[in-house]
Amino acid sequence: MILKSGRTPMCAALMSKWRMCSLRLRGLEIQGFKSFPDKTRLTFHDGITAVVGPNGSGKSNIADAVRWVLGEQSTKTLRGGKMEDVIFGGTQARKPQGYAHVQLTIENADGALPYDSAEVSVSRRLYRSGESEYRINGTSVRLRDVHELFMDTGLGRDGYSIIGQGRIAEIVSAKSTQRREIFEEAAGISKYRYRRQEAQRRLEAAEENLLRLRDILAELEARVGPLQAQAEKARRFLTLAEEKKTLELSLWIATLDRSRALLREQEDKLLLCRDDHDRIQAEMDAVEQRINALYADMQALAVEIDERRAQARTLEEENANSSADIAVMQNDLAHNRASIEQIGAELRQADADGGGLDEQIRTYETEIADKQAALEKLHRKQEETQQEIVRLTAAREDCRTRADALKERRFGLTQSIQEAKLSSASSGSLIDETIARLEALRDAAVVGDENAARIEKELADCKGLLAEVLAASESLQNTRRGYLLRAEGRGEKLDALKKQRAALDEQARGFLQKARLLTDMENSLEGFQSSVKYVVSQARRGALSGVCGPVSKLIEVDGDHALAIEIALGAAMQNIVVEDETAAKRAIAMLRSSKTGRATFLPLTTVRGARLSEGWLSSADGFVGIAADLVRCDSRYEGVVAQLLGRIAIVRDIDCAVALARRGGYKFRVVTLDGQVVNAGGSMTGGWTARSAGILSRAQEIESLRAQAKDCADRMERLDGEIKTVQEELSAAQAAILGVDGELATAQEDRIRCESEQKRLLAAQADAARVREQAAREYEALEARLRELRAAGVSADGLIQELSGQLDEVARQLGEVNEGRDAYASRLDQASEALAQVNVAAAALEKEIDGARLMMEQLAGQKEHRREQERALKERAARLEEENEAVRQRISDLEAARRKRTARIETIGTEIAERTARRNECESGTAALRADEKEIAARRETAARELARLEEKKASMQGEYDAIIARMWDEYEVTRSQAAELAQPVEDTPAAQRRLGELKGKIKALGSVNLGAIEEYGEVSERYTFLKTQTEDAERSRAELLRLIERLTSDMRTIFSENFTKIAANFSVVFTELFDGGKASLSLADPTDVLESGIDIFVQPPGKIIKNLSALSGGEQAFVAIAIYFAILKVRPSPFCLLDEIEAALDDVNVVKYAQYLRTLCDKTQFITITHRRGTMEEADVLYGVTMQEEGVSKLLELNVGEIEGKLGIQ
């Protein structure tokens, strides 16, 4: 269906929706973007909102913020070098911000945008790390989603809702083909062009895909035929190979049956020979045991003999040492006696020398006393002379002081006389000056009082404002502390949860790693003997039949009993359970032939164990159970379990084990849960056991480890949920802190501003008070001075006469004082000379007294030294006497000990002779047993050679048997039992062998066979069919895309033509209105190509003939571009427009025309204009002022013009 206008229904619906669209910009929130570090919110109303401010204040950053939040990616358009430049970079007073955030709020009351909410918020955030995010209504979206949201609304990144100086100039100065962008957005075909480009991209992809599909189909067609032939050949080969396999396995099975009968005969012979060998070996063991017993006795006697001989040698050495010590001590006694006699002689000589020293000391004492008396007389003379000197000095200084005072008095009187003379001459002029100064001070006091009152009022207002700011700041601080405590708590909890998760992750990895290790050990039979591993591996390959497995693999046990069962079994855990004796013999022969060790086999047909049957066991203290009852196994292995564990009791601890074994007469083994053992017969085995995964409990521990790992994983999953919740709570708290920080920063700025103003006012108040105080003091001083001047003018002459008389009297007194001072100085010199003579005599006496005292002290020291020597000699003599007594006692003790040792040496000699005789008897018995041992060894060697011959023959037969088993495995990977199931009875062996030869010939004749061709042919055939279907689908898709592109192109051509015609018509009208006349038109450079043609502009201002737009002045070009912009808005009104100084180039008259015309468009469009022109500001409804009081930081001030006009009554 086509409407009369020629537009499709889709086009008509889009235009209808556009006309009904009433989107309005309601708010813009900026934080950390360019010069707006603090959270700043602009609220927009209908009409015109003007953002004004001086150059460099940051007002154009508001337009950049809107471009940026709508998805602008060009850093050049955003006036930066890189995208990170939009984040506030910091100033000298502020740190750089970590991110930039802008949020745009749009009214969506009529649902023009595809959201149910009445408002739609679009936000963008960029971090310094480069991370960026877009959100619509708080939901994270892609940049593409933002672009598509505003496409064909005029609000997108390529729309005409945001126009700056450069963009408005491009409309006129750009080439005709470069003007299409804004006209396409205005015509409403951007979304169509976008969809057509998407369809073209999909068409290109479809054509490439179609080309690739055709190439692959051609390749597959070339492969299908050869692969079909190869598949037929492969099927023929498989038929022949299957017949060959059945026939060959049948022949091998027949051969194995014959070999098994021969092996059984050989095993019987071996058994008889082995019994004979074992009997001879038992005789040899008995003889060797007796020889070893005699040898042990001989060794024990030899040790005892050596020990006693060593004791005798030790005692003899001790006797020799004692004799030497006694000789040394006797020599010490003689030396000490001689020393005592020498000390006595020295003491007697010291008594004789002491008398002479006492006489010398008494002589020096008398001499010192005489000279001390003479010295005291000289000291008294010194004191008398000193006192006289002090008295004379004081008198002389008194005269000097009086003279100085009289001189000062004379100088003062002279000065006073001169001043009085000057005062008398100038007192008149000074009185007049003082009166004038007093009048000026009275006038200044009146002005100062008025200024002080004004400052007092301003200071009170400032204090009140500061109190409000401090209260608000304190409230914000409390709020921030609350959020901070919440964030710290969430952060600590988050760290704790992450640590818990890391610990659980590490535990889980440890459990899984240990489980893998134990699994590898289990699979490789780690811990088993090499012989056991060999037998089990051969059984798995089918080379050895009748093997059930090791005991540990055939039983299960609970974890609580695992250690006890492992200890009870011991090495028997590695015993191999086999079906019968024949299987055991085959396995033993294989071990012997391969030389891989020995193993114990438990045939199910012969092993029949006994069990404990005492009824009293169940009531015994600590009894857990019979070991055989604590394990689980298949019923066919119960006899083996009874043999190994039927006569072993499991109890709680070692005390219970000892009591139970004693009560049972030590007839069976008892094992505790922790692995201690009381053996039959009473011996005990125990100690510490390293608890790790044993052979028996390894599989159970693997399951336990995996269960623990799964539990850790479940707990980690729960922790992940908690971590996510706590992370969200932490993010919310941190976001709240950032919000409060912004408010705190604003409050801090207000506080600093108030405090600064308060300081200024307080300083001004103090200065005013200081000035008033100084003025008051000066006023009082001037009044006093005035009185003095008036008095001085009357009495100046009388004062001069009085002062002259005082000056003469002072001159007389000064002469008398100078005469007395000279007399005292002469007497002082005489007294000083006498004092010097007395001082010399006293010093000589003091020196003589000091010398005598020194000699007396030396003599006293010599006397004391002699006393010390006497004491030391007496002490030494006493000490030597004590040493002699101790030495005599020591000699007595040594002689007694020597006599005892001599008696012990004689006893040891007797014991050595007795043990030597016993050792000789043991040697004789050993020689007789050695002869018997030689004869038994000869018989054992003969039996061993026969046994080896039989075993070698059996091994050869077993080797042939095993070779056939191995060949079956190598050729067809089947065991003997599997081969027996596949084999057919062979009635005629030669005929079967001939048929086998024929089959091999036919297979060889086929040559090389590609067995994979069967499967490959199926895959290629299936793929060929599939791709052929895909090719047909791709061709249909290509045709549909071509039709879609054609339809979109037709719609774009229709819509653009209609809207361009309307814009051109409106341009002619708007141009005439703005230029007050003239003519203007818009036309397509190529009317035949509507969608790619450039757009030409023709204008003719009143009174001018213009052939080229470049001939217009800059202001005229800007006005033409504005006329085109207004023409677009009349056809396709944008919900809101942000105009960034587009009228900057206009003169004042045209600015007024521009602003008035802007007002006529406000009924359909909301305008936000960034300007510094008066005419635009006067037309605005709301003014936002942008200032930069703080360097590098923009601030906003809102002024609602309508409200102010209403309050002031302005029409």
Q: CA angle at residue 142 from 138 to 143, to 5 degrees?
A: 110
Q: Is 1059 annotated as a binding residue?
A: no
- How far apart CA 139 and CA 117 sit, in angstroms, is 13
Check whether 57 is labelled as a binding-site residue: yes
Per the CB < 8 A criterion, the answer to whether 519 and 945 are in contact is no
What is the spatial distance between Cα 48 and Cα 1165, in angstroms, rounded to a whole number?
9
Residue 538 one-letter amino acid: Q
Measured N-to-C along each axis, helices 581-594 and 530-541 cross at an angle, to the nearest 10 degrees, of 110
- Considering only CA atoms, which of 383, 1204, 368, 237 is closest in space to residue 835? 383
114 is an annotated ligand-binding site residue = no
Token pair listed for 369: 């006393």
Backbone angles phi, psi at 678, to 5 degrees: -110, 115
- Decide if 566 contacts 552 (C-beta within 8 A): no
Beta bridge partners of 543: none
Give the dihedral sign, CA 786/789/794/798: positive
Residue 54 counted as an annotated binding residue: yes
Number of H helices, E strands in the chain: 20, 24
Q: Answer yes or no: are the C-beta atoms of 266 and 951 closer than 8 Å.
A: no
With H, G, I as helix, E, B as strand and everything else as coil, classify residue 34: coil
Q: In whole angstroms, give the CA distance from residue 428 to residue 790.
A: 8
Amino acid at 979: A
Q: Measure the CA–CA gap between 70 and 83, rounded to whole angstroms.
A: 15
The answer to the question of whether 1079 is labelled as a binding residue is no
Task: Provide the 10 A C-beta neighbour count for residue 976.
Answer: 21
Angle between helices 1114-1131 and 180-187 (to 10 degrees): 20
The pairing of strands 677-678 and 669-672 is antiparallel
**Beta-carbon contacts of residue 1178 (< 8 Å; ≥ 6 apart):** 1155
CA 1065/CA 1057 separation, integer angstroms: 12
900 is in an annotated binding site: no
Query: Rounded distance, CA 1099 to CA 1079, Å?
Result: 6
Give the list of residues 6+ apart from residue 1069 with CB closer than 8 angstroms, or none: 1127
96 near 86, Cβ under 8 Å? no
The answer to whether 56 is annotated as binding is yes
The dihedral of CA 486, 487, 491, 497: what is its sign?
Answer: positive
d(CA 234, CA 252): 26
Distance of alpha carbon 487 from alpha carbon 491, whole angstroms: 6
State phi, psi for 649 to the nearest 5 degrees. Answer: -100, 140
Residue 675 labelled as part of a binding site: no
* C-alpha to C-alpha distance for 551 and 376, rounded to whole angstroms: 124
Q: Which residues lie below 8 Å from residue 971, measured CB to CB, with a gap of 6+?
A: 248
**The two structure tokens encoding residue 593:** 């032939």
**1131, 1063 Cβ separation under 8 angstroms:** yes
> Which residues lie closer than 8 Å to 371 by C-beta, 6 or more apart?
845, 848, 849, 852
Within 10 A of 331 (CB to CB), how many other CB atoms are there? Answer: 10
- From CA 963, how far away is CA 536, in angstroms rounded? 17
| Token pair belonging to 681 | 């017969």
SS (H, E, C) 1017-1040: HHHHHHHHHHHHHHHHHHHHHHHH
CA 821 from centre of chain: 95
Binding site, annotated residues:
54-61
Binding site, annotated residues for ATP:
54-61
